[in-house]
């Protein structure tokens, strides 16, 4: 995709995501900053922040778990290189701890694909599997939403016993729900 394609799909994705009632009424949203050719999240983060939503962004820990920090606009991000792995944009402010995600009304999850059952295929690092397990242990029930390109919604993805379905997938062309949200 060209840079113009990425900007266009990022704007469309933000528009579709903002139509979700779960995001419209959220006081806190755990999200992430897209990197590379992932569906763009920056426009969505900026709108949520401008609306007064508390936006939590992850910071990758050495064991692949996630700590969280508050997003306070584009100037609150730093590019962090994680060894031989990818560089991520992480919040520069204070860390809130791995359990901060349990306060979110909605959690936006990255993924490679989502299938017709709402099962998400991640990148294999297990970071978001830990997040989902942490939410379950805490008895937290935020809306779980994956942001993808249309072609990444597929018939079937592999599933492991610890995997949990998401409530919705948002693509530039629309929203598909799998299970009732919280």
Asked if pLDDT for residue 164 goes beyond 90, the answer is: no
Binding residues: 33, 38, 120-128
Burial of 142: CB neighbours in 10 Å, binned 0-12, 13-18, 19+: buried
Number of domains in the chain: 1
Mean pLDDT of the chain: 91
* Chain centre distance of CA 105: 13
Neighbours of 75 (CB within 10 A): 7
Asked if pLDDT for residue 179 goes beyond 80, the answer is: no
- Per-residue model confidence as pLDDT tens digits over 99-137: 999 999 999 999 999 999 999 998 878 899 999 999 999
- Mean pLDDT, rounded, for 53-67: 95
- Mean pLDDT, rounded, for 57-67: 94
Q: What value, to the nearest 5°, has the Cα angle with vertex 87 and ends 83 and 28?
A: 120
Asked if pLDDT for residue 85 goes beyond 90, the answer is: no
Which residues have CB under 8 Å from 172's CB, separation 6+?
9, 12, 13, 16, 39, 149, 150
> Is 165 part of any domain?
yes
Query: Could you tell me the two tokens for 143?
Result: 């809306």
- Per-residue model confidence as pLDDT tens digits over 86-107: 789 999 989 999 999 999 999 9
Residue 80: give the domain boundaries: 3-177
CATH number at residue 39: 3.40.50.10420
Which neighbouring-strand residues pair with 170? 147, 175
In three-state secondary structure terms, 43 is helix
> Is 182 part of any domain?
no
Binding residues for substrate: 33, 38
Say what the pTM is. Answer: 0.92
Binding residues for ATP: 120-128
> Is 55 part of any domain?
yes
């Amino acid at each position: 995709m060209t840079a113009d394609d990425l900007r266009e799909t990022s704007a469309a994705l933000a528009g579709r995501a903002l139509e979700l009632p779960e995001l419209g009424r959220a006081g806190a949203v755990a999200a992430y900053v897209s990197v590379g050719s992932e569906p763009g999240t920056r426009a969505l983060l900026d709108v949520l922040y401008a609306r007064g939503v508390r936006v939590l962004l992850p910071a990758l820990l050495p064991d692949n778990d996630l700590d969280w920090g508050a997003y306070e606009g584009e100037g609150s991000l730093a590019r962090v290189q994680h060894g031989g792995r990818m560089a991520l944009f992480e919040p520069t402010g204070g860390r809130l701890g791995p359990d901060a995600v349990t306060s979110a009304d909605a959690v936006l999850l990255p993924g490679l694909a989502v299938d017709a059952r709402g099962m998400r295929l991640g990148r294999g690092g297990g970071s978001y599997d830990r997040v989902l397990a942490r939410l379950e242990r805490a008895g937290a029930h935020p809306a779980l939403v994956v942001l993808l390109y249309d072609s990444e919604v597929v018939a079937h993805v592999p599933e492991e016993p610890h995997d949990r379905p998401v409530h919705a997938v948002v693509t530039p062309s629309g929203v598909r729900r799998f299970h009732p949200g919280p």
